[in-house]
Amino acid sequence: MVIAFPSPFSDERALSETIQKAARGTISVNVEYNCIICETRDVVKLASHLAGMHGIKSVAIANKLSTNFSDVIAAIVEVGSKVMLPRDRFYVKVIVQPDAECDYVSRDVEFAASGTLAVRLASIKVLPAKTEEAASRVILAVIAKQYAYVCIQVMDGPGGFIIGSRGRALSSIHDSLSCLACLMAANAGFDCTTIVLPYVDESELAINAKLLQLFATRTRRKKQKILAMPINVPSKGLVSVLLKEKIISNILVKCQNNNNRIVLPLTTAVHPIWFIESIIKETVFARKMPFAPLMFLSTELDRYAHEVGIEQLNVSAVKLAKGKLEKYSNTIDAQARLAIKHMKTLDLEIGPNYLHDIIDSI
């Protein structure tokens, strides 16, 4: 058995349908309260696949048994005896669903199983932990309406929402911060089917293409539409950082795309407030809807980046007066139009050579 635990606020029914479509060979997929129970011929393959599916908090490979109290205790002890190592600290966690047909509560099972398992493993100095956080291993059991499930292995999922469940959005990947914004938008349920890939030179193209490959891998896309274009940033220093962002946001607004939603990699930790406000106003004025998933993040940025596979953000706060950018208004518009004029549209299948396919196609 494979159990998928949906992330908070996920639509369990929609998620079960997505699992059924994605997992060929699955015998059945059923929602039992807030868990999705999957029967399949290859539990390892299915569990591995679901562990990368957005909308899932965690995935477990489990044994299915009756809800009989003694059967559940025996199953927990059997699993615990197999997975424990010397001097481990374990915690037995039991979830009894509201519609479960049993005459006991979670604490009854946890107490009885912990005691029995501690006695069984006393020779290798394995002891129960007082809390889940203090344990080196957690044994999870779910008591559903008709059956109980004791988890053999639990894997974390990406959480969030099903990609595409909130619609589509146009985005750009031109540095690590913009890649993180795209990944967070995807995790929030938006499908970034079209990605703008701007680059100043060949070196930056290679870096951005690698970030795009990371995005495609993390979101498990099979195909990606890329709008690749060279850009010119006519300045250096701090001004160039904001100037480049302004040109790219202008490109996103001007792109002839059926999608009016735009993902902007803006954050108050890096960009001045006046700069963020100006881009959002310009986007709305152009009748586009701006989304800024990083807006209020600061110290969390590095942690989130590390979690999604971005090794280093390489960003720092840009402190610049508003007047420093005003004289570039015409230049920004001209450079955005020029970039779009030289745009190359790519529709590439995502595979092991995806990075090289991008660079070779450009």
Same domain membership, residue 142 and residue 8: yes
pLDDT at 17 over 70: yes
- What is the predicted pLDDT for the residue at 258? 77
Same domain membership, residue 353 and residue 255: yes
- What is the predicted pLDDT for the residue at 236? 81
DSSP 20-74: HHH-TTEEEEEEETTEEEEEES-HHHHHHHHTT-TTEEEEEEEEEE---HHHHHH
Same domain membership, residue 181 and residue 110: no
Instruction: Give the DSSP H or E segment for 347.
Output: strand 344-349
Same domain membership, residue 151 and residue 285: no
Burial 196-223 (b: 16+ CB within 10 A, else e): bbbbeeeeebeebbbbbbbbbebbebee
- What is the predicted pLDDT for the residue at 27? 77
- What is the predicted pLDDT for the residue at 71? 97
Euclidean distance between CA atoms 318 and 173, whole angstroms: 19
Q: What is the mean pLDDT of residues 39-62?
A: 93
- What is the predicted pLDDT for the residue at 237? 82
What amino acid is encoded at 274 in this protein?
W
pLDDT category at 315 given cuts 50, 70, 90 is: confident
- What is the predicted pLDDT for the residue at 21? 84
Q: What is the mean pLDDT of residues 235-253?
A: 92
pLDDT at 257 over 90: no
Structural domain includes residue 73: yes
Give pTM, 2 decimals: 0.89
Same domain membership, residue 227 and residue 86: no
Instruction: Give the DSSP H or E segment for 197.
Output: strand 191-199
pLDDT at 235 over 90: no
Structural domain includes residue 228: yes
Say if residues 139 and 91 touch (Cβ distance below 8 Å): yes
Structural domain includes residue 161: no
Burial 49-87 (b: 16+ CB within 10 A, else e): bbbebbbbebbbbbeebebebeebbebbbebbeeebeee
Structural domain includes residue 178: yes
Per-residue model confidence as pLDDT tens digits over 131-158: 999 999 999 999 999 999 999 999 999 9
Same domain membership, residue 208 and residue 152: no
pLDDT at 105 over 80: yes
Same domain membership, residue 222 and residue 98: no
Per-residue model confidence as pLDDT tens digits over 107-116: 999 999 999 9
Least confident among 12-21, 244-253, 292-301: 12-21
pLDDT at 320 over 90: no
- Quote the percentage of the chain above a pLDDT of 90: 79
Distances (CA, A) of 266 to 98, 276, 357: 43, 7, 29
Euclidean distance between CA atoms 292 and 185, whole angstroms: 9
Structural domain includes residue 338: yes
Instruction: Please count the other Cβ atoms lying within 10 Å of the Cβ belonging to residue 104.
Output: 15
Same domain membership, residue 58 and residue 22: yes
> Residue 262 sits in a domain of what CATH number?
3.40.50.620
Euclidean distance between CA atoms 122 and 191, whole angstroms: 51
Same domain membership, residue 179 and residue 125: no
Nearest Cα neighbor of 56 from 109, 93, 102, 9 is: 9
Q: What is the mean pLDDT of residues 195-201?
A: 96
DSSP 260-292: -EEE----TTTS-HHHHHHHHHHHHHTT-EEE-
Instruction: Give the DSSP H or E segment for 226.
Output: strand 223-230
Structural domain includes residue 163: no
pLDDT at 26 over 80: no
Please tell me what DSSP assigns to residue 294: T
Per-residue model confidence as pLDDT tens digits over 121-135: 999 999 999 999 999
Instruction: Give the domain range for residue 206.
Output: 168-361
Same domain membership, residue 172 and residue 140: no
pLDDT category at 25 given cuts 50, 70, 90 is: low
pLDDT at 160 over 70: yes
pLDDT at 96 over 80: yes
- What is the predicted pLDDT for the residue at 89? 96
- What is the predicted pLDDT for the residue at 203? 94
Same domain membership, residue 318 and residue 180: yes
Q: What is the mean pLDDT of residues 350-354?
A: 87
pLDDT category at 287 given cuts 50, 70, 90 is: very high
* Boundary (domain end) residue, out of 156, 185, 216: 156
Same domain membership, residue 219 and residue 147: no
> Residue 81 sits in a domain of what CATH number?
3.30.2130.30
Say if residues 47 and 82 touch (Cβ distance below 8 Å): no
* Boundary (domain end) residue, out of 95, 123, 156: 156
Burial environment of residue 106 by CB neighbours within 10 A (0 to 12, 13 to 18, 19 or more): middle
pLDDT at 69 over 80: yes
- What is the predicted pLDDT for the residue at 256? 78
Structural domain includes residue 115: yes
- What is the predicted pLDDT for the residue at 23? 76
Nearest Cα neighbor of 249 from 332, 162, 156, 141 is: 332
In the predicted model, what is the mean pLDDT of the chain? 93
- Could you give the dihedral angle defined by the CA atoms of residues 302, 52, 62 and 80, in that order, rounded to the nearest 10 degrees? -30
Total number of domains in the chain: 2
* Boundary (domain end) residue, out of 102, 128, 156: 156
Burial environment of residue 304 by CB neighbours within 10 A (0 to 12, 13 to 18, 19 or more): middle
Q: What is the mean pLDDT of residues 180-189?
A: 96
- What is the predicted pLDDT for the residue at 142? 97
pLDDT at 13 over 70: yes
Structural domain includes residue 344: yes
